[in-house]
């Protein structure tokens, strides 16, 4: 039998371990099988609950138990990617010709899903609200609104949404609420405690943490998870592969340690950028400043290695800066061990920036686990090369 732990570090280390079931293996084995043969009176196979890996698999179950325990959910489900988790969570609430409310600052592929795919295919209408419009959320609710989709903080300039307030509005109008909780990870924000229905994550970022896997997850009540397990996940087939689940498990054991080091490094880099004459503005929620200070303090228990800044100068100068970096690699993901720089709104149109609710010339940095002096030195020399 597996034991239920309460403390975060105990959950990360041991939740889901079952020495009797896994014959004393200190690490749960990879059940790399599609099928589980069923017991009959003649074959001597003991009773077990498994049928087929698309629905349940013992290795996958260990990760799901960890995630549910970490975020206070009734259950959790793992997926083949963050987008598989996101699209399943959205489809759980969607109806043909319904209306969805979301924020402008969401992850780009999710925007495409809600702006183009679902509208063209199923007549769904989506309202993308700015931070100001979100203040008057109830004005945007229609008779056919079925879902409020959030991402808090977002991953460009880290907009937060008031989860308690929005969950309450959702409940009052019978509208489902989903949040992309990837930034905070299950350690630093527990949306279900505010009344949000589903928390989704990509596991390809900090949960995995080593830039060696693509996976996703959602955490919710037992009822919703059971409905998605047999509905969206079984029918669309976006289940995680057991080997990916095992890698994810390995990454998660060091999640808290890694996050703390990422945040420590990022805070130092944010400080450096803040004082640099070539920097217009720095966005790092861990500085706990700006108009959302109170919400940051209320909702976020910790921070990570993601930050962004507006470079003073032209788009060409920002491009030149990015090309001069040697330790920072140019890439658009985040959450791994390595430091990355990406041209978030460098050279993009004003219309695009407005659509994202983001300033122009924004460079996003993911601060990795390298020596922080090396990273600051790299930024310094790239600033000096700007002409
Ligand atoms: C990367 C990312 C996703 C998508 O995850 P995949 O595993 O790549 O499908 C979703 N949301 C956020 C905030 C992300 O950064």
Q: 236: CA distance to ligand 1 center in Å?
A: 19
Residue 107, ligand 1, Cβ within 6 A: yes
pLDDT at 353 over 90: yes
| Alpha carbon 121 to chain centroid, angstroms | 26
Token output for 317: 């100068």
Residue 185, ligand 1, Cβ within 6 A: no
CA angle in degrees (0–180, nearest 5) for 17-20-26: 45
Q: What is the pLDDT of residue 40?
A: 87
Residue 199, ligand 1, Cβ within 6 A: no
**How far is Cα 88 from Cα 82, in angstroms, rounded to an integer?**
10
Atom of ligand 1 nearest to the CA of 182: 13
Q: Whose CA is nearest to atom 8 of ligand 1?
A: 82
Q: What is the pLDDT of residue 294?
A: 96
Residue 87, ligand 1, Cβ within 6 A: no
Q: 387: CA distance to ligand 1 center in Å?
A: 35
Q: Whose CA is nearest to atom 12 of ligand 1?
A: 107
Q: 83: CA distance to ligand 1 center in Å?
A: 6
Residue 345, ligand 1, Cβ within 6 A: no
User: What pairs with residue 331 in β-bridges?
Assistant: none
Helix (H, G, I), strand (E, B) or coil at 211: coil
Substitution candidate for ligand 1 out of 109, 304, 332 with most atoms within 8 A of CB: 109
**How far is Cα 219 from Cα 150, in angstroms, rounded to an integer?**
15
**How far is Cα 208 from Cα 246, in angstroms, rounded to an integer?**
10
pLDDT at 2 over 90: no
pLDDT at 76 over 80: yes
Q: What is the pLDDT of residue 4?
A: 85
| Of residues 283, 289, 326, 329, the one with CA closest to residue 306 | 283
> What residues contact residue 245 under an 8 Å CB cut-off, 6+ apart?
30, 57, 59, 60, 62, 63, 78, 215
DSSP calls for 154-177: -SSS-----HHHHHHHHHHHT-EE
> What residues contact residue 230 under an 8 Å CB cut-off, 6+ apart?
55
CA angle in degrees (0–180, nearest 5) for 341-348-182: 50
220-231 pLDDT per residue, tens? 999 999 999 999
Token output for 205: 């970022």
Cross-sheet strand order for the sheet of 176-180: 75-79, 216-220, 198-202, 176-180, 145-151, 99-103, 125-129
26-49 pLDDT per residue, tens? 999 999 999 999 998 888 898 999
Percent of the chain exceeding pLDDT 70 equals: 100
Q: Are residues 16 and 65 in contact, defined by beta-carbon separation less than 8 angstroms?
A: yes
pLDDT at 1 over 70: no
Q: 216: CA distance to ligand 1 center in Å?
A: 8
Residue 152, ligand 1, Cβ within 6 A: no
Substitution candidate for ligand 1 out of 81, 85, 205, 344 with most atoms within 8 A of CB: 205
Q: 202: CA distance to ligand 1 center in Å?
A: 5
254-284 pLDDT per residue, tens? 999 999 999 999 999 999 999 999 999 999 9
DSSP calls for 9-39: HHHHHHTT--TTTTTT-SS------SB-PPP
| Of residues 140, 147, 152, the one with CA closest to residue 179 | 152
**How far is Cα 272 from Cα 233, in angstroms, rounded to an integer?**
45
Q: 338: CA distance to ligand 1 center in Å?
A: 17
Q: 82: CA distance to ligand 1 center in Å?
A: 5
**How far is Cα 22 from Cα 15, in angstroms, rounded to an integer?**
14
Q: What is the pLDDT of residue 41?
A: 84
Average pLDDT rounded to a whole number, residues 170-180 = 98
Mean residue pLDDT of the chain comes to: 97
């Amino acid at each position: 039998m597996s034991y239920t732990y309460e403390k975060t570090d105990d959950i990360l280390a041991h939740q889901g371990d079952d020495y009797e079931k896994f014959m004393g293996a200190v690490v749960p084995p990879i059940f790399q099988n599609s099928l589980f043969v069923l017991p009959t009176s003649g074959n001597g196979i003991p009773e077990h609950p498994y049928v087929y890996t698309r629905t349940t698999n013992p290795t996958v179950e260990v990760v799901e138990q960890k995630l549910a325990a970490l975020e206070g959910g009734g259950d959790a489900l793992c997926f083949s990617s963050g987008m598989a988790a996101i699209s399943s969570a959205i489809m759980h609430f969607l109806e043909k010709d319904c209306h969805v409310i979301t924020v402008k600052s969401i992850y780009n592929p999710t925007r495409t899903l809600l702006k183009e795919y679902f509208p063209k295919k199923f007549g769904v209408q989506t309202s993308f609200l700015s931070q100001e419009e979100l203040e008057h959320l109830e004005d945007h609710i229609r008779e056919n609104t079925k879902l409020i989709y959030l991402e808090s903080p977002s991953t460009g300039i880290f907009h937060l949404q008031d989860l308690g307030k929005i969950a309450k509005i959702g409940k009052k109008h019978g509208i489902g609420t989903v949040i992309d909780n990837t930034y905070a990870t299950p350690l630093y924000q527990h949306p279900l405690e505010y009344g949000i229905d589903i928390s989704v994550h990509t596991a390809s970022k900090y949960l995995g943490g080593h830039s060696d896997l693509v996976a996703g997850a959602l955490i919710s009540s037992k009822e919703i998870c059971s409905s998605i397990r047999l509905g969206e996940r079984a029918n669309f087939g976006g289940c995680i592969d057991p080997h990916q689940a095992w890698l994810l498990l390995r990454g998660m054991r060091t999640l808290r340690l890694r996050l703390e080091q990422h945040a420590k490094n990022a805070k130092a880099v944010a400080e450096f950028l803040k004082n640099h004459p070539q920097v217009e503005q720095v966005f790092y929620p861990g500085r706990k400043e700006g108009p959302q200070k109170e919400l940051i303090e209320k909702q976020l228990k910790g921070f990570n290695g993601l930050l962004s800044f507006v470079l003073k100068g032209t788009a060409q100068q920002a491009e030149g800066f990015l090309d001069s970096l040697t330790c920072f690699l140019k890439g658009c993901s985040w959450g791994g061990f390595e430091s990355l720089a990406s041209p978030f709104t460098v050279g993009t149109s004003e219309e695009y920036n407005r659509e994202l609710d983001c300033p122009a010339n924004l460079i996003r940095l993911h601060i990795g686990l390298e020596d922080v002096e090396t990273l600051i030195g790299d930024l310094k020399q790239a600033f000096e090369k700007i002409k």
